[in-house]
Homo-oligomer: A and B are copies of this chain.
Amino acid sequence: MATINDVAKLAGVSPTTAKRALNEPHKLQPHTLEKVQWAIRELDYEPDLTAGALRRGRNMTVGLLVADIVEPFFAELAREVSVRLRSSNYGLLLADNEYQSEIELHNLRHLAGQRVSALIMRPSYGPGNREYLLKMQDKGTYIIEIDHHMPDSPFDFLMLDHEQSVRAGLEHLWSLGHTRIAGLGTYDAELYPEWRAHHFDHIMREHGHPVLSAYREIIRYNEQDAYEFTRYLLNLPERPTALFAFNGTEAIGAYRAIQDAGLRIAEDVSLLAFDNLPWTHMVSPGIDVIEQPIKQMGELLVQQVLKNIDGPRTPMQLLLPGKLIVRGSCGMASAES
């Protein structure tokens, strides 16, 4: 494996000069430049990123810590970020937290040990790792949160405008006459501080239709819990006329539960969901969804991260609007109780 010293020797220059041929070629005399470039080709020189990382205190990667890479939202975001990073010589160090701060801490330790240049992360619940993250930030790692952000969190963030999105969804349902609406999961400051559930509660109350207490339960946003909770809801004497799934995974569980209960989507019960997943336009009727601008998120994130790795910090605290896509899974609220 050729090092920059080998290149320098072969070209008859110093390592400093040899490196400049790669980083600041304009500062070299054409003649010198050519000699070095020839030597680089001759030896197949490729820089050792680990040596550079040790010297500079950060490596050439961006850490991306998602909740779960299998959730399509995170998979798509990972791709967008990865693709855009390509033109910058940065790589992507992937980690997850399964929404749990112990797992998160384990992975943060690794990312910090690897000296990632920047960290894009979906925070887990609770203030658990804030101290650790602040230490990372102090050591020069740029940190930006995605998808979720606590008001007292000191970090930059870029996420969906959950409030606007929930409101857009509810206005859609209201316009169809729905008032008995159940959200798939209830906000809990300690256990489950999810914004979509929080705004759902708040906006419903504000609109004069507080969510029935029978509809309120703290569940996790996965297929299984969503399935079971939906079955429960559909069996209530006062069953909801519309269901609001707070992410794409929940929507799958809800959809299956509705089918298994022998009910028809739209006619018997309406379904509205976050995340525009492929299957939502393949069933019939198609599912009404609120789509996140994932491409835009990826673009803005990479831009912001690269700008902030070197150069001075430019704050970014951004909410992006969700887009309602209507396909037919929400029907008129029927008169039947």
Residues of A with Cβ closer than 8 Å to B?
1, 46-51, 53-54, 59-61, 68-70, 72, 75-76, 78-79, 82-83, 86, 89, 91-96, 103, 106-107, 109-115, 139, 223, 252, 255-256, 259, 277-279, 281-284
A106 touches B79 (CB 8 A): no
CB-CB under 8 A from A76, the residues of chain B are 70
Closest Cβ of chain B to A136, distance in Å, is 10
Question: Are A259 and B284 in contact (CB-based, < 8 A)?
Answer: yes
Among B59, B95, B279, B281, the residue within 8 A (CB) of A50 is: B59
**Interfacial chain B residues near A47, Cβ < 8 Å:** 113
Q: Is the interface of A mostly helix, strand, loop or mixed?
A: helix
Task: Give every chain B residue within 8 A of A46 (Cβ-Cβ).
Answer: 109, 112-113
Verify A86–B106 contact, CB threshold 8 A: yes
Q: Which of A68, A95, A114, A139 has the most CB of B within 10 A?
A: A114
Contacts of A109 in B (CB 8 A): 46
Pull 6 A–B residue pairs with CB atoms less than 8 Å apart, ordered by A: A46-B113, A50-B59, A50-B114, A51-B54, A91-B95, A279-B283
Chain B residues whose CB sits within 8 angstroms of the CB of A95 once the complex forms: 82, 91-92
Residues of B close to A1: CB separation below 8 A: 139
Docked CA distance A279–B249 (Å)? 11
Residue among A47, A53, A78, A103 with max Cβ neighbours from chain B (10 Å): A53
A48-B94 contact, Cβ under 8 Å, with A75-B70, A278-B279, A279-B278 = no
Least CB distance, A66 to chain B, in whole angstroms:
10
Contact A79 B89 (CB under 8 A): no
Partner of A114 from the list B61, B78, B82 (CB cut-off 8 Å) is B61
Looking at the complex, which one of B61, B86, B92, B282 makes contact with A103 (CB distance below 8 Å)? B86
Q: Complex: how many Å from CA A73 to CA B114?
A: 28
Contact (A113, B54) CB under 8 Å given A82-B94, A93-B93: no
